[in-house]
Amino acid sequence: MEEKKSKKKCLKLSYVLNIVLILLIIGISYAWLHVTLRGEKKVSIVGNKLELMLDETNEGIQIEDAVPVKDEQGKEVEAYTFTLENKGNKKIDYSIYLDTDSEAMKECSNCQELEEKDIRYELKKDNLYNTETLDSSRLLDKGTIGGTEKISYELKIWLNYDADNDAQGKVFYGKIRVEGVQNTGEYDNGKPNAPVLSDNMIPVVYNGYNWVKADTNSRWYDYERQMWANAVTVTNESRNSYQQAEVGTKVNMDDILQMFVWIPRYSYTIQQPYGKKEEGRKDEPSQLLPGEIDVKFISSSTKDDGKAQYNKGEKVKEWFTPPGFTFGDKNLSGIWIGKFETGNIGDCTPGYSAVDTNCDRENFIPYIKPNFISWRGIRVSTLELVSMGITKVGNIYGFDQTTYDSHASKNTEWALISYLTQSKYGKYGNSLYTGENKEVYMNNYTKFLTGCSSGQGIAYASENCTYRYDDTTSQEDGTGYLGGGASSTGNITGIYDVNGGAWEYVMGNLSEDGAKRSGYTEAQNSGYKGKLSDESLIEGREWNDNKYYDFYSSTNSKTACNGSPCKGHALSEIAGWYGDFSAMLSTTSPWLARGDWPQDDKLSGVFSYYPHYGSTYLQTTFRIVLTPNS
């Protein structure tokens, strides 16, 4: 690092101090009025009864010959300040972008522009701070400004400490752009519940090059911008060091054991039949290209019980809180879900054409990281024991026995990923992607390596990991990040391997008459005590408490919840979206699996579900969940 600091890299930051952005709303009576403000001297835009005025009061400044600095030094640079003010009494939804000043770039002879990953910034919104790396969306903030409300901002920009030699001699000229649109007033989005962190979990953010320790006193996640909260567990040897480390400290991937993503509690509803048509979309939502799922964040004390659907033209209502946010008798503020499919280091060989029987063992160490081979060849009863074991006494992750309950993902918990991904808070709402690219890109690598991406939603099986999870190569044709597009957010903060990779067993079981089913035959079953396909009983492991499973009363997804559709299970209500596989449980195959695998090509996806025996398979793995105990 000392050598890097001595290498001078020229960064020219051109921005204007003390910009005042005034949003004047005078008795709005028109729907969906839309305006744009740009960082230029005294601009006024008037449309119908929506008036916005931008007034710059200072000339620009320029920073030259900047060197890479740590965040604490970068935060000492002079701030660029601006204010949003709503003079009317109607709400406005707004987005703030940091664009390239193309005119300034033209005037800079033979200049090359810095990549977004080399630009760090701190945005202060009133008294809340957010420190991040610029991404290709250029989006700094978004939110809603109420009538007569005023919001103050400060922006500081510096050269990323981790910038490499490619940044030498490059420049950046920027200016602010504000997009405003009249708020429809359909519903209050609410704020996401804060992640529940135990002492052993290190909160992390990605700085464009590495995962670094996050500042939990700042805005280290932003679901409005599809930036989901991440946390990791680390080795016993490194844990104390990271716990005591300064904010911004790099967390080495070699020290990381598991990575988790926080899903805050929410309610959802779906405009019939295929979701809501968002602003700017030309075609109507269809089964192959569905629309937006409405989501609003709620507190742990709220539990909506509406129909979870409404018709076009109706006001958004009939909210429903998914059952994945209830664990036993506890209403959860959210859950942690494994960022990748689970892998292991053991003496089994999960190959391409066969899986060693030694993989069906509970004494292997489960890892949740990129670039690991998914743990396959494991029965449902064994993977449950493995998942529960990560919080048991003596675990290597540092978990105590009071903060979380660890277990294999239930179907209702997997469903939480599905709905949020297709909402404005997930990849569907990420403006970097358009059309069919809004589908989560497929992990089509046939060697089952976690975090791979095909760079497209529908892909064929490949012998190569085409793009890695942290590949931030960005296209400008609506395809977004080639690597990050394989996550639930369309960026590196989301959940991976939910389209392709391997089929993922979830704890969803057929129990038509209250009798739990173990599997197909004596040789092909889950390892639990229960019924087989010929209605005979097999001995095996005892089942745990019912809160660890979703039981279905029918082989028809429309009647599988005691004669009714299963709201919140991501089954019949989203069947066939994006062309994904949709096949319900049977007496032969009584266990659900989600996500699909590369060999099914276009049938794979975040809405895909299919029945399995519950036994060891080449193509089935699992995902681990942490639910807070309080």
Q: Write down the pLDDT at residue 46.
A: 31
| 561: Cβ contacts below 8 Å, ≥ 6 apart | 552, 553, 567, 569
- Write the CB contacts of 241 (distance below 8 Å, at least 6 apart in sequence): none
**Nearest-angstrom CA–CA distance, 358 and 347:** 7
Q: In which residue are the tokens 């999960």 written?
A: 350
Which tens digits make up the pLDDT trace of 395-432? 999 999 899 999 999 999 999 999 999 999 999 999 99
pLDDT of res. 353: 54
* pLDDT the model gives residue 51: 40
Q: What pLDDT score was predicted for residue 351? A: 54
pLDDT for 398 equals: 97
The whole-number pLDDT of residue 40 equals 46
What is the token pair recorded at 537? Answer: 């009983």
Q: What are phi and psi of 403, to 5 degrees?
A: -80, -45
Q: Are 98 and 80 in contact (CB under 8 A)?
A: no
The 10 Å Cβ neighbour count of residue 574 is 24
Complete DSSP assignment for 153-196: EEEEEEEBTT--GGGTT-BEEEEEEEEEEE---S-----PPPP-
Residue 316 Cα to chain centre, angstroms: 24
- 606 by DSSP, 3-state: which? coil
Q: Where are the domains of the chain?
A: 2-182
The rounded distance, in Å, linking the Cα atoms of 546 and 327 is 10
Cα 512 to Cα 78, 262, 350, 516, 531, distances in angstroms: 67, 33, 34, 8, 11
Nearest to 176 by CA among 99, 234, 109: 99
pLDDT attached to residue 551? 98
Sequence-ordered strand ranges (E) for 455-532: 503-510, 530-531
Give 154's Cβ-side CA count (13 Å radius): 12
> Residue 389, class by beta-carbon neighbours within 10 Å (0-12 exposed, 13-18 middle, 19+ buried)?
middle
Instruction: Output DSSP code: residue 356.
Output: -
Determine the pLDDT at residue 43: 32
The segments of the chain whose pLDDT lies below 50 read 1-64
How far apart, in whole angstroms, are the C-alpha atoms of residue 420 and residue 73?
37
Task: Answer for the pair 21, 94: CB distance below 8 angstroms, yes or no.
Answer: no
Compute the C-alpha angle 51/53/54, nearest 5°: 155
Query: What b-and-e string marks burial along 197-232, b requiring 16 or more CB atoms within 10 Å of the CB?
Result: bbebbbbbbbbbbbbbbbbeebbbbbbbbbbbbbbb
Which residue do the tokens 């969906």 mark? 32
| Cβ within 8 Å of residue 569, ≥6 positions away | 323, 411, 412, 415, 508, 550, 560, 561
